[in-house]
Chain A
Amino acid sequence: MNHNPQSSEGRHDDDVALSDFLASLMDYTPTIPDELVEHYLAKSGFQCPDVRLTRLVAVATQKFVAEVAGNALQHCKARQATIPKDKRDKQQKEKRLVLTMEDLSKALREYGVNVKHQEYFADSPSAGMDPVTGDE
């Protein structure tokens, strides 16, 4: 019985915080534009006239991308920390922070996405083919 007023107060606080957040979404400018999000929402059957929900989806996606990119950045930094110092100094001059497939696939693996890139690319599509088919 004692928990009821507390929990209801806590719930009330949550509601207030959430409604404040939703209100702030009206003025929020997400990195992913509204029109783009609306396009993808409409594509997948999501129907809602509320801008705030659209922006909530945008913020959720932005958070996901930022997390993945942050993870990849950690991988990148960790990989570069293993390089001996003399070589690292050479790279220090240039920008080292490049989003590579290697880091990205490691980061995405934690999110259940298995990305595999090909080990190598041939020079041209017709390089490995028979000369007859290549001519055609």
Chain B
Amino acid sequence: MNPMQKSNNTKAKSKAPRRTKDRKKRDPGVDVQVAETPSDFSFTIAKTAVAQICQSVGYKRSEYNALEILTNVATKYLQSIASSAATYANNSNRTDANLFDLINGIHDLCSIQGFSGGSVMHKSNLLSSGALKEIVDFAKTSKVPFAKPNQYKNVSGNRNPEADIDSGTLTSASQEPKVQGFHIPRWLPDFPKELFYKNCDKVLVKERKCGEKLWEHSLDDCCGNVEGNRDILEINGKEEKEGRMELGKKRSRVKFKIGEKKEKHIELGVNMLNGVCKGRKRISWANNKIDLAQVNKDAIGKS
């Protein structure tokens, strides 16, 4: 045993025995525990997880360096599984990896040990691989939750496993339905529930005066809401037939013809409105010329 180990062990023995994960938090004075960079942060979390796994195996204590090395190897293992699976996915012209890529990646890393069915790895079905079965067996036997309960964000948008899994189609493991649209990046938070913004809109619409509407609601009306138009017409008290936009009252025909002598008769505007134009259906400037001339004569005669 070398002197370094001795010193480590004596140090560990001198203190009261505690659990492995506690040991890490216990001596921040001896070893620097503060995560300064994001990689340090993730490494520290990984160290906690690895320490827990060691504890579940049966270890009571650990040397600091040994734990650090094991964590390092574990993260490298994880990353090499991931990069291998990503390479397999990219080789088949995909960006998203699926279960098959992952199994291939696991095969790559398990091939050092070897596994059952490894000799016919490329001939047999990927889903019935021995390496995957070993993982399945391991998952059934060991259940060590993480030290702190972590709140899972809803990545898939659907946590009901029965809704997700079609027993027949394992190939579509990565194609579960997402609530988010595919154009929305995954790191954006979920959209708020419909209740919130729909209610808000209704309140806003009610508050508006004079029947004004937001543009998007007018769009809705145009698209499908013919009945809305009918209601509006009925509210106006007009007769409404066949749902068409019709004026309730037939408008009288109005016709103006403006000639060059218009300026002369400006002074008679009041007269014109009162006597000539009022109550008439048709107003034709040309026809009224005669009348206006008579009126002029009358006015002259009176004077």
Task: Please list the residues of chain A having a beta carbon within 8 angstroms of any beta carbon in chain B.
Answer: 10-11, 14-19, 21-37, 39-41, 43-54, 56-66, 68-70, 73, 94-104, 108, 110-113, 115, 117-121
Contact = CB atoms under 8 A, between A and B. Distances in A.
A101 B7 CA distance: 13
B81 A60 contact: yes
Contacts of A65: 50, 53-54, 70, 74, 77
Contacts of A24: 139, 161
Contact of A45 (B42, B49, B83, B136): B83
Given A19-B167, A44-B79, A70 B49 contact: no
Nearest to B61: A98
Q: In the A-B complex, list the 9 residue pairs whose CB atoms are closest, starting with the nearest.
A: A46-B82, A99-B62, A44-B83, A14-B128, A95-B60, A26-B161, A44-B82, A45-B86, A69-B57
A39 B40 CA distance: 12
B135 A33 contact: no
B193 interface: no
B272 interface: no
A53 B97 contact: yes
22 contacts: A15-B167, A22-B99, A23-B165, A29-B143, A31-B56, A31-B145, A33-B45, A54-B155, A60-B135, A61-B77, A63-B134, A65-B74, A66-B56, A73-B57, A97-B59, A98-B61, A98-B62, A99-B63, A100-B9, A112-B112, A117-B65, A120-B2
A10 B46 CA distance: 38
B95 A47 contact: yes
Contacts of A11: 125, 127-128
Nearest to A37: B78
A88 B100 CA distance: 50
A95 B73 contact: no
Contact of A36 (B45, B60, B66, B167): B45
A118 B70 CA distance: 16
B146 A100 contact: no
Contacts of B156: 49-51
A95 B61 contact: yes
Contacts of B142: 62, 66
Given A10-B128, A49-B156, A51-B156, 15 more contacts: A11-B127, A11-B128, A14-B128, A22-B99, A22-B165, A40-B82, A41-B78, A48-B96, A52-B173, A66-B56, A69-B70, A97-B60, A99-B62, A108-B73, A121-B4
Interface string B155-175: 110010110110110100110
A136 B262 CA distance: 107
B75 A40 contact: yes
Nearest to B8: A100
Contacts of B75: 40
